[in-house]
Amino acid sequence: MSASAPARPVTPADIRAAKGGTPLVCLTAYTTPMARLVDRHCDLALVGDSVGVVLHGLPDTLGVTMEMMVLHGRAVARGLKRALMVIDMPFGSYEAGPAEAFRNAARLMAETGAAAVKLEGGAHMAETVGFLTARGIPVVGHVGLTPQAVHALGGYRVQGRGADADRVLADARAVAGAGAFAMVLEKVTEPLARRITAELAVPTIGIGASPACDGQVLVVDDMLGLFSDFRPKFVKRYAELESEADRAIAAYAADVRARAFPGAEHVFADTAGAGA
């Protein structure tokens, strides 16, 4: 799939069918203006629970609520024409059991227009994934580093090293087998991500995984360089917008204090016929 393809909205079936083809492109989006930019170039737009950290200043994703996801999901939907909108199920909205997961997933899709939900977890979430997909809710899986379980995992560690590879592989197999149409592999060792990608029938989308994955995803604010103090190894900076914004704001502040802004071209004359 590519940005030059017809503007028909991308579907979960399209994503699944892209296995082994041109790599899928995915970025997060949390606002309408960013969604419009992402939509021009990406196959998937992920309304990630990372919104809690990126836009709300939370220390992690655990404090993100359903209301926050609905708010940002609606905003993103207004900016999309083509990219498949996937929305994260926040912590506490699906872990208690399949029935609760269905209620919350159905709410997210109905209130935002998302075409699919993403949930974290491996073999222990397979029953829930199967329950959702059997009832018409497309699911993207997420294994390896699962940020909602960061405390149980002992921090943001690389997953799948040594004997741990068997666990991550089993998780990926279980979630794909339960019906997920795609799988995010986060912070998984490169050889393991390559093996999972080769074995699974569904596309893998890597973040800190392998170039062999069927697609890649990044937090858009990270790849745009909006946070100078956060530079994870797996993020490539395609811009340094924080420094650019800082320079622009400093120039504005200097102009205001020097009374150089607003200039004559920015104010309105009190002359009939001179324009609004």
CA distances from residue 153 to 18, 87, 156, 164, 171 in whole angstroms, order as listed: 32, 23, 7, 12, 15
**Rounded-to-integer distance, Cα 76 and Cα 226, Å:** 19
pLDDT tens, position by position, for the chain (276 residues)? 655 555 799 999 999 999 999 999 999 999 999 999 999 999 999 999 999 999 999 999 999 999 999 999 999 999 999 999 999 999 999 999 999 999 999 999 999 999 999 999 999 999 999 999 999 999 999 999 999 988 787 778 999 999 999 999 999 999 999 999 999 999 999 999 999 999 999 999 999 999 999 999 999 999 999 987 878 899 999 999 999 999 999 999 999 999 999 999 999 999 876 555
pLDDT (0 to 100) of residue 76? 98
From the candidates 67, 100, 111, 186, which is the catalytic residue?
A: 186
Domain for residue 203, yes or no?
Answer: yes
Question: Counting beta carbons within 10 angstroms of the beta carbon of residue 265, is it exposed (0 to 12), middle (13 to 18) or buried (19 or more)?
Answer: exposed
Residue 242: predicted pLDDT: 96
Q: Is there a domain that residue 3 lies in?
A: no
Contact 188, 208 (CB under 8 A): yes
Q: Is 164 annotated as a binding residue?
A: no
Distance spanning both ends of the chain, measured CA to CA? 47
Residue 26 domain-assigned (yes or no): yes
Single-letter amino acid code for the residue at 254 = A
Is position 174 within any domain? Answer: yes
How many separate domains does the chain show?
1
Residue 88 lies in a domain: yes
* Residue 271 resides in a domain: no
128 within domain boundaries: yes
- Quote the pLDDT of residue 274: 55
In the numeric block, the tokens 């400093």 are attached to 250
What is the extent of the structural domain holding 42?
12-240
Task: Give how far Cα 117 sits from Cα of 20, 52, 226, 267, Å.
Answer: 22, 17, 26, 48
In a domain, 86, yes or no: yes
Q: Which residues, other chains included, contact 148 with Cβ-Cβ below 8 Å and sequence gap of 6+?
A: 49, 61, 62, 90, 91, 120
DSSP state of 9: P
Strand runs labelled E in the chain: 24-28, 44-47, 84-88, 116-118, 139-144, 182-186, 204-207, 215-218
Q: Is 118 annotated as a binding residue?
A: yes
| CATH code (residue 64) | 3.20.20.60
Task: Judge whether 88 is annotated as a binding position.
Answer: yes
Q: What pLDDT was estimated at residue 2?
A: 53
240 given a catalytic annotation: no
Was 2 annotated as part of a binding site?
A: no
Give pLDDT, residue 133. Answer: 98
| 240 annotated as belonging to a binding site for a ligand | no
- Distance (Å, whole) CA 25 – CA 182: 13
Query: In the beta sheet, which residues pair with residue 179?
Result: none
